[in-house]
Structures are given as structure tokens and as C-alpha cells.
Structure 1
Amino acid sequence: MGHGKKNDVNGHVGPAGLEEDFRTELDDLLNGNESNYETEVAIRADNIKLAYYGLEFMARWMVAVSALMTAEHFDELEEHWTLQDDIGNNHRVAFNKSITMLMLTFGWDEFRDFYHIKMKPLISFTYLGNSVFQTKIFEGSTTRMNIHHTIGYLLALLET
């Protein structure tokens, strides 16, 4: 696309213009400004952007995992993770353990269905060790104004 390199707000080097492009596309997707076909095309075309920005919940509800957290714990992380809530429910999800496209795959749909997640959830994941994460699903949904703050917040939680 002709983008050069620049530091993002966290000091990471990434493609120049990527953050602005991503925010515009994310706003369009979250606010229903694109058709389902356009959304599907955008998701397929922008998988690298999604991985770059870490944890993202998009129209197809797949979740990209923070590359920084994964790199730090790569040898420890198993292919199956346990997601725990604060009342004792455990959910198994599969992690593809890919360096280039980090995704939670199998089990994610069941997790969403169990908690009736419909749109724009704010979910924190706290890594407890041994491929176990404590989850917290916050009431309501993220707004257009706070989605970028939310992404940063979730990444910070994963990296602790």
C-alpha cells in the first residue's frame, strides 16, 4: 500500500497509516456502515492488521491474541487453554500456536454462546499460568469512542 514504518502510540514499529486505516475500518464495522459482504472481505483482507493490534472481537467473533503476550509465554502456552469466569465455569478453547497469525479457534463459539455475547463485548483476560486465563465480561458494549482505549486496556491485561 505504500505505507512506510512509524512508531505507534505504544512505541511499537508498524506500518505508517495502519492505525488510522484500522480505526476507520473498525468504526465502519462496529457501526454497521458496511454490508455483510464488505465486512467478510475486509476481515479476510485485514487479518494481518487484526493480529498487529492484538485482541480484537470482530463480526465473525474470532479473537486475535496479543503477539507480545504470546511471545513472552510461547514455550509455556499449550494448544488448549482454559478460560475461567469468577463463578467457577471453565471453557476450553484451542490456540493455533502460530507465530504469524495468533488466534483462538475451537471452543470460542461455545464461549460466546454460553455468555450470550452478541456485540462488541468488553472482556478482560488475566493470564494465571499453565494456559489458564481468568475472564471478566463487562456489562454493556464498547462504544465508538472507547473501542481504541479498550483494545489498549485488553493488551495491557494480557501482557501483565
Structure 2
Amino acid sequence: MKVLFGLLVLVAAALGSPQWAAAQSCTSDYECTRGLAFGGNARCVGDTLIRTTTRCVVGRCQTQETSRQRCAASIGQGRCVGEYYQRTESRCDGLNGTCATRTIRDHCKRGCSCRKNVLVVFTGACSSAIGCHRAVKECPGGCSCDPEPVCRQ
């Protein structure tokens, strides 16, 4: 029975599972963190960034959660800046341990698109609540944008 248990411990250690790494023997905090890639102290669970620290406590490495931060997909409403609709989005970046933000700009210009029997007319208007205004209509008989937007019969 002891041989079987010893074999299981060796297999688990070889796989490098985080649970076994946390139970590693140590004499200093450095011994607990030296094997972690890029510090290994952040991860994402959905859109939540979880930061941890690993310390040597009574001769064993123990990982403790230090903070949680929700990385919202969309940060507030967008805004209209001239002919552009601007909004900021955030996503969880576990490798860098941050909520990475980016600004997206859509050009609200007048125009027309007809693809796969769907007519889309861009009005050129912008509002902070919905962004660039457009009208969408299905055209079973096809559509055309030239000389003007129209559904064919």
C-alpha cells in the first residue's frame, strides 16, 4: 500500500499539478516562486483577474489569493466624437496580471451594404447609447444600393 501511495505521489509531482506545488518543502519564499513562469502570480477566471502570492510558511509553500478584480467587457457608454463613435473595452490579461483596456472607434459615415439578401443602410448619425445608426432589412428577392438603397421584388 505504501509503494502504491509513493508511486501516486511521484506521478502527481511529475505532472506538475498546482496542488502538489503548493505543498512543496521550502526554507525561503524564493524557493516557492523560482519555478513559476513570469512570476506566475495572476490568472483569469472568466472576466475576473485573480492575483496570488506564494510564500514559505512553516516549511511548506502556500499560495494565497491577494486580490480579485473584475475586468468589465465594456466600460460605460461610448461617446460620439465628430463622425466617430468611441467606446472603451477591458479584458482580463493573466499573463501581464492586468485588465487590459482598448479604445474602439467606429466611423459613422453614410453608406449602404447589400450582402446575402440583407440591406444595411448607414445613416451617418451617432448617439452615445447605441453608436452609429443603421437600418437593417431582409430582402428575400435581393437588394441593391445603386442608385439608392432598395429591396428588389
TM-score per shorter chain, which class? under 0.3
Larger RCO: 1 or 2 (CA < 8 Å, sep 6+): 1
Give TM-score, length-normalised by structure 1: 0.23
Structure having the higher strand fraction is 2
Query: Normalized against structure 2, the TM-score is what?
Result: 0.24
Larger radius of gyration: 2
